[in-house]
Structure 1
Amino acid sequence: MRVLAAMSGGVDSAVAAARAVDAGHDVVGVHMALNRNPSALRTGSRGCCTIEDSLDARRAADLLGIPFYVWDLSESFVADVVDDFVAEYAAGRTPNPCVRCNEHVKFAALLDKGIALGFDAVATGHYARVERGEDGRAQLHRAADQLKDQSYVLAVLDADQVEHAMFPLGDAPTKAAVRAEAQRRGLPVASKPDSHDICFIPDGDTRGFLRDKLGEDPGEVVDVDGTVLGRHAGTYGFTVGQRKGLGLDRPAADGRPRYVLSISPVQRTVTVGPAERLAVGALTALDPVWSAPEPGGVVEVYAQVRAHGEPVPAVAELVGGELRVQLRTPLTGVAPGQTVALYDGTRVLGSATIAATTPA
């Protein structure tokens, strides 16, 4: 097969490309230039898509003896990931930019361009597996290493995208084993630290980034009975389930910590309360995407709402394009804007964007 290997400049994508070469595929490496600041440099283990990363990717491709190109996908990245991130927070929701990047950039813009150029598949360094079912169709599954499993952020892929996806690290036992393999291969990124946090906010100050984009929009922090407990500079600085940085003027009467329960950008209020009020028993989600056949009627599933969150048993039903999920085990801190991924065992069935929740 002709394989387009997405090379971020990190150890995972380098080893994934190497494994694709070992498998006998005709591999071409490509680094996605997503950062519009050409002088951007990595700070510690934060950020990605910098000049340093593109040079690391090129060195790895040279060592593997494969062609290498840099593709400018920054326009798509800004429109579909960064602008979406800002708009979602402005609306009081909590987006996952990694999910949006996989959906719109890595497996839409990149894959579409690759297919147009005659490639059969895109290989990435994600920890997930693609297996063939009895019907011969590709299925997306969790990785062998549950600690590194990234199937949640890939749950936005549809069936056709999964058909053209390749995850060579899916059977890797641990990240340490991948680093050891990179060392044996002589890849210069073998000991390179992982990137953390949001790649386009390399200093990790999400609230400051949003303040620069949206400006200050002060309002009140209130208790569940409407009592004003403090003030804030913008509702975008909060997310459901948050405990720290609430800016409260006085402690709770019972001395227990408070958490963000809801956010209302229109009223410019942030409501806080005790932990038990965070429990969610059901949720409604929109814009479902299916990597497995679309379910008909009520189905038993496992639902996951965070990249490394615990999957819980649930019942799901698609009603008029709206996904309704009844959780058999309540979850806490579930926020509109998050992605809910549905599983059948290790297999990803699909995902949708949470629009509303119901208390347990």
Structure 2
Amino acid sequence: MPAEVGQKPKIAVAMSGGVDSSVVACLLAEAGYDLVGFTAWTLNGPGKCCNDALINAGRVCQTLGIPYDTVDLRGEFAHYVMDYYNQSYEAGLTPNPCVECNRFVKWEALIDYTLNTLGCDLMATGHYGHLVHQAQTTRVYKAADARKDQTYMMARVYPKDLRRTIFPLAHATKDQVFAYAQAKDLPTAFSKESQDVCFILNGQQHYLNSVFGPKPGPVVDMETGDILG
């Protein structure tokens, strides 16, 4: 932990509704830290980042006996992630929405909420990465579980935000996390993982069609460039 927060900082645990952040909350609670769990509300409707996440995270906090809060970041998510995603495809580029979400939503917005609304000193997450807090900077290193390492997705997170972050799972493997959750009988102990883009529920092609729709234009020969009609 960064030296400036002291030995027993108040910690906000970013709860995704999955097993990783649930285990983080349990580990820190057992270590005696003053905690509050919270979840970012990023989308309307069903899905991992919406209703399910709020319900599951709330159940875990209730089980652990720690307070639970939510923060409405639907506007930020729509602007920094979904608009960016749509505009990138419209321009013929390949977007990386998770990198932008980490930078602007999961870190910049949540660190601000952690410090200024919840009155906490640090934010803990269930990410697989290793942070080394030095005197003048914070460095990101790979997690012990190379299969689950998420440091690539943190490449654009501001150092000032990482400075107020801890990764309690830095030295854990996914198998150990599941085993711990099951041993503690956490509500999310058998939750399934998702590798999909959270706001795309029915496939990318369906999503892009719903955003852009069909557009009229000439029929072009791809080999010659001739307009056929």
Partner of 2:189: 190
Equivalent residue for 1:147?
147
Higher relative contact order (CA 8 A, sep 6+): 2
| Superposition RMSD in Å | 1.7
Matches within 5 A, 1:247-262: none
Q: Which amino acid aligns with 2:192?
A: P
* Unaligned runs of at least 5 residues, structure 2: 1-8
Q: Distance in 1 between matches of 2:206 and 2:41?
A: 24
For 1:49-198, list aligned pairs within 5 A.
49-117=49-117, 118-133=119-134, 135=135, 137-172=137-172, 174-198=173-197
C-alpha deviation, 1:221, in angstroms? 7.6
Gaps of at least 5 residues in structure 1 are: 43-47, 229-360
Instruction: Find the counterpart in structure 1 of residue 205 from structure 2.
Output: 207
TM-score, normalised to structure 1, is: 0.57
**CA 1:29/1:88 → structure 2, altered by over 3 Å: closer, same or farther?**
same
Aligned partner of 2:67: which letter? Answer: P
Give CA-to-partner distance per residue, 1:256-301, whole Å, 9 cap, x none. Answer: xxxxxxxxxxxxxxxxxxxxxxxxxxxxxxxxxxxxxxxxxxxxxx
Offset from partner CA, 1:193-245 (integer Å, 9 cap, x none) = 01221100122x112211111122356583xxx347xxxxxxxxxxxxxxxxx
Question: C-alpha separation between the residues in 1 aligned to 2:71 and 2:221?
Answer: 45
Change in Cα spacing, 1:183 to 1:88, as seen in structure 2 (3 Å) is: same
- For 1:159 and 1:25, the matched residues in 2 are separated by 24
CA distance in 2, matches of 1:151, 1:30: 22
TM-superposed CA distance for 1:107, in Å, is 0.5
SS in 1 for 2:98: helix
Look up the equivalent residue of 2:94 and give its one-letter code: T
Shift of 1:136: 6.0
Q: Secondary structure at the match of 1:60?
A: helix
User: Partner amino acid for 2:146?
Assistant: Q
Equivalences for residues 227-238 of structure 1 within 5 A: 227=224
Rounded to whole Å, the distance in 2 between the matches of 1:8 and 1:227 is 51
The Cα of 1:52 is off from its aligned counterpart by 2.2
Q: Within 5 Å, which residues of 2 pair with 1:243-322? A: none
Q: 1:89 to 1:221 in 2, by over 3 A?
A: farther
- Describe the shift of the 1:108–1:220 C-alpha distance in structure 2 as closer, same or farther (beyond 3 A): farther
**Under a length normalisation based on structure 2, what TM-score does the superposition of the two structures give?**
0.87
Larger-Rg structure:
1
TM-fit CA distance, 1:132: 3.1
